[in-house]
Chain A
Amino acid sequence: MSIINRLKSLFSEDKDKEEKNVADEKSDDVGAKPSNLDDAIVSGTKTSVPISDVLKKDEDAASEVTFKKDLSSIEEQRVEEDLPIIEEDEPSNDEEIPKVEEEESEVEEVQEVETSEIEEEVPVEESLDVEENTSSDEEDVNTDDEEESAEKADDEEKQNEDKKRDNMTLLTDKELLTDANRDPEFTAEFIDAGIETVKHCFQCGTCGGGCPSGRRTPYKVRQIVRKCLLGLKEEVITDDALWMCTTCYTCQERCPRSVKIVEIIKKARNIAAHAGYMAKPHKMTGVFVINTGHGVPINDATKALRTKIGLSEVPATTHADAAALEEVQKLCKLTAFDELIGYDEATGGLKE
Chain B
Amino acid sequence: MEIAYFLGCIMPNRYPGIEKATRILFDALDIELKDMEGASCCPAPGVFGSFDEETWATIAARNLTLAEDIGADILTECNGCFGSLFEANHMLKEDEDKRAKINANLAEIGREFKGTTNVKHLAQILRDDVGFEKISSLIEKPLDLNVAVHYGCHFLKPTAEIGIEDQAENPSILDDLVELTGAKSIDYKDKMMCCGAGGGVRARDLDVTASYTKEKLDHMSAAGVDAIVDVCPFCHMQFDQGQTEVNERYGTDFAIPVFHLAQLYGLAMGLSAEELTLDAQKIDAAPALAKALGENAK
Contact = CB atoms under 8 A, between A and B. Distances in A.
Contact of A334 (B58, B199, B204, B211): B58
A169 to B, nearest CB: 28
B285 interface: no
Interface in A186-218: 193-194, 212-213, 216-217
B179 interface: no
Interface in B31-78: 35-41, 43-55, 58-59, 62
Interface residues of A, number: 67
Interface in A260-314: 262, 266-267, 269-270, 273-274, 278-279, 281-282, 284-286, 289, 293-299, 301-302, 305-306, 308-311
Nearest to A274: B52
Nearest to A211: B194
A323 B111 CA distance: 13
Contacts of B37: 316-317, 320-321, 324
Interface stretch (A91-99, A139-147, A159-167, A243-251): A243-251
A335 B54 contact: yes
Contact of B59 (A279, A282, A328): A328
A21 interface: no
A295 B9 contact: yes
A296 B14 contact: yes
A253 B215 CA distance: 21
Contacts of B12: 298, 302, 306, 311, 315, 317
A324 to B, nearest CB: 3
Contacts of A245: 199, 201
A118 interface: no
A330 interface: yes
B296 interface: no
Interface string B148-179: 00000110011110000001110000000000
B47 A315 contact: no
Interface of A, helix, strand, loop or mixed by DSSP: helix
B40 A294 contact: yes
Contacts of A301: 280
A282 B7 contact: no
A278 B211 CA distance: 23
Nearest to A333: B108
Contacts of B205: 243-244
A332 B62 contact: no
B216 to A, nearest CB: 10
Contacts of A298: 12-13
B16 interface: yes
B198 interface: yes
Given A212-B193, A247-B49, A315-B19, 14 more contacts: A217-B208, A243-B205, A246-B194, A253-B157, A273-B51, A282-B46, A282-B200, A299-B13, A305-B280, A317-B7, A319-B13, A323-B38, A327-B111, A331-B109
Interface of B: 7, 9-10, 12-14, 16-17, 19-20, 35-41, 43-55, 58-59, 62, 95, 105-106, 108-109, 111, 153-154, 157-160, 167-169, 192-194, 196-201, 203-205, 208-209, 211-212, 215, 274-275, 277, 280
20 contacts: A212-B212, A248-B193, A266-B53, A269-B50, A269-B51, A282-B203, A285-B46, A286-B48, A289-B59, A293-B41, A294-B9, A294-B13, A295-B9, A296-B9, A302-B12, A302-B16, A305-B280, A309-B275, A315-B7, A341-B51
Interface of A: 193-194, 212-213, 216-217, 243-250, 252-253, 258, 262, 266-267, 269-270, 273-274, 278-279, 281-282, 284-286, 289, 293-299, 301-302, 305-306, 308-311, 315-321, 323-325, 327-328, 330-332, 334-335, 337, 340-341
